[in-house]
């Protein structure tokens, strides 16, 4: 969310940013919110004027009463009463205007970083760099659920009976591999100096509004019926929400955190064959990384975060690439974002396994997360990135480590988490 003062002083810049995101339908909102803000400030100025005059009038009443001029004093009292009624009206109007302004400001996108390429949607995202050599083996690689079934490792039919489509049972070595990847990812991030956290898996509505845009909220979040609670779609939500209304000492920054959680997502819309199985599901587990830092440090941490994901995938013998997200593919709260994609030897192409984002001060402004500095307080910057989300990581892992005989190689770094196993045998 932008600062209303910034919008007021830079309307054309804000409009140009909206055009870069191909959201021209939002252009009228800039002038509308500026007009509403002007009206709100005028109301506030009138309230301030009445308030400033109140003490003066009170003294006059006292003086008139002391002089026995009761009738004159009563007239002034009537004026005070009318002013109080007017103040109440103005306060009510100001509150209503403030709500309207906030609702509009929540829909105006964050100013994107100058380095972000301009494009309408994800088809115009740009490849940045490849890591590792993509390999297509000389044997056919089955669909990922068929690989898992070869190890008696998945039951989709039972999950459909119990919970519906978009859920699964993992079993045996596949379930162990799933947990091993999460445990390895946790320790990988701890070794890089991140503090491990297990956060709440539900959050209040005001936190949801603070961490994501309304379109994302509608498309993703499950609400608990009858309660002000939502199931998290990623641990970033509760991790950033942890600092709501806090003033963080400058010396305590950066906060570098890695969190585990289950994630719950509606995943609205129809999806193709390649997004079935355990690729796009309603419930999964994820290891996340989050940074809260000073504004000048966020570009550095953005680069560190996506590199962490690249590094962990490479230790598991999975080729990856990074894609710069174009302006039209950025969620409204993001300044800059890149996707990490893993190589699929079965599809002979890359697919998304993580997303790294710099949200600038957008979440901090909504949640009032400030840094207490020597020269005053200012808003923090927040960043997040996926370490691993095992359903997709599992697909990439199995495809890239599958052998012709159906066995799966276990990279050395993962063996301690798999009881020393060097391979899985169907």
pTM over 0.75: yes
Residue-wise pLDDT tens digits, 191-227: 999 999 999 999 999 999 999 987 777 778 999 999 9
Structure tokens belonging to residue 409: 């190689």
Question: What contacts 252, CB < 8 A, 6 or more positions away?
Answer: none
The Cα 371–Cα 27 span in angstroms is 32
Local confidence band at 274 (pLDDT 50, 70, 90 cut-offs): low
Arithmetic mean of pLDDT over the chain: 92
Residue-wise pLDDT tens digits, 15-61: 999 999 999 999 999 999 999 999 999 998 888 887 777 666 766 66
Lowest mean per-residue pLDDT among 3-17, 30-44, 65-79, 233-247: 65-79
Side-chain-side CA neighbours of residue 201 (13 Å): 11
pLDDT at 380 over 50: yes
Is-contact 234 162, C-beta < 8 A?
A: no
pLDDT at 81 over 80: no
User: ∠319-408-344 over CA atoms, to 5°?
Assistant: 30
Question: What contacts 261, CB < 8 A, 6 or more positions away?
Answer: 198, 199, 201, 232, 234, 235, 238, 285, 286, 288
Average pLDDT over residues 141-169: 95
β-pairing, 230-231 vs 222-223, is antiparallel
Ordered domains of the chain (ranges, CATH) = 4-105 (1.10.287.40), 122-424 (3.30.930.10)
Average pLDDT over residues 375-397: 95
Average pLDDT over residues 399-407: 97
Local confidence band at 270 (pLDDT 50, 70, 90 cut-offs): very low
């Amino acid at each position: 969310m932008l600062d209303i003062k910034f919008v007021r002083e830079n309307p054309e810049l804000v409009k140009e940013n909206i055009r870069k995101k191909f959201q021209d339908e939002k252009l009228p909102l800039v002038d509308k919110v500026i007009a509403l803000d002007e009206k709100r400030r005028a109301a506030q100025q009138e309230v301030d004027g009445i308030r400033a005059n109140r003490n003066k009038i009170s003294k006059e009443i006292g003086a008139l009463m002391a002089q026995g001029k009761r009738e004159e004093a009563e007239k002034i009292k009537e004026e005070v009463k009318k002013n109080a009624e007017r103040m109440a009206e103005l306060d009510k109007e100001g509150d209503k205007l403030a709500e309207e302004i906030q609702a509009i400001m929540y829909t105006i996108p964050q100013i994107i970083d100058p380095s972000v390429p301009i494009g309408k949607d994800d088809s115009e995202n740009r490849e940045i760099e490849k890591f590792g050599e993509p390999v297509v083996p000389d044997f056919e690689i089955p669909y990922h659920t068929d690989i898992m079934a070869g190890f008696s490792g998945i039951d989709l039919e039972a999950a459909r009976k119990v919970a519906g489509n978009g859920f699964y049972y993992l079993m045996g070595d596949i379930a162990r591999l799933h947990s091993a990847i999460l445990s390895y990812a946790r320790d990988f991030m701890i070794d890089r100096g991140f503090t491990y956290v297990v956060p709440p898996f539900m959050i209040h509505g005001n936190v949801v509004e603070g961490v994501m845009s309304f379109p994302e909220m509608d498309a993703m979040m499950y609400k608990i019926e009858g309660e002000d609670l939502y199931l998290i779609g990623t641990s970033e939500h509760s991790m950033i929400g942890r600092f709501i209304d806090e003033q963080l000492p400058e010396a305590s920054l950066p906060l570098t955190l890695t969190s585990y959680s289950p994630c719950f997502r509606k995943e609205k819309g129809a999806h193709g064959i390649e997004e079935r199985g355990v690729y796009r599901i309603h419930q999964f587990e994820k290891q996340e990384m989050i940074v809260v830092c000073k504004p000048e440090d966020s570009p550095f941490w953005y680069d560190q975060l996506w590199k962490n994901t690249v590094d962990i995938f490479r230790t598991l013998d999975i080729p990856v690439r990074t894609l710069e997200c174009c302006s039209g593919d950025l969620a409204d709260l993001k300044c800059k974002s890149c996707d990490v994609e893993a190589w699929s030897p079965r599809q002979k192409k890359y697919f998304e396994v993580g997303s790294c984002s710099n949200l600038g001060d957008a979440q901090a402004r909504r949640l009032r997360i400030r840094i207490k500095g020597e020269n005053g307080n200012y808003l923090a910057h927040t960043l997040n990135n996926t370490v691993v989300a095992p359903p997709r990581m599992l697909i990439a892992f199995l495809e890239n480590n599958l052998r012709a005989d159906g066995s799966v190689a276990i990279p050395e770094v993962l063996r301690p988490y798999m009881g020393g196993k060097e391979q899985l045998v169907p």
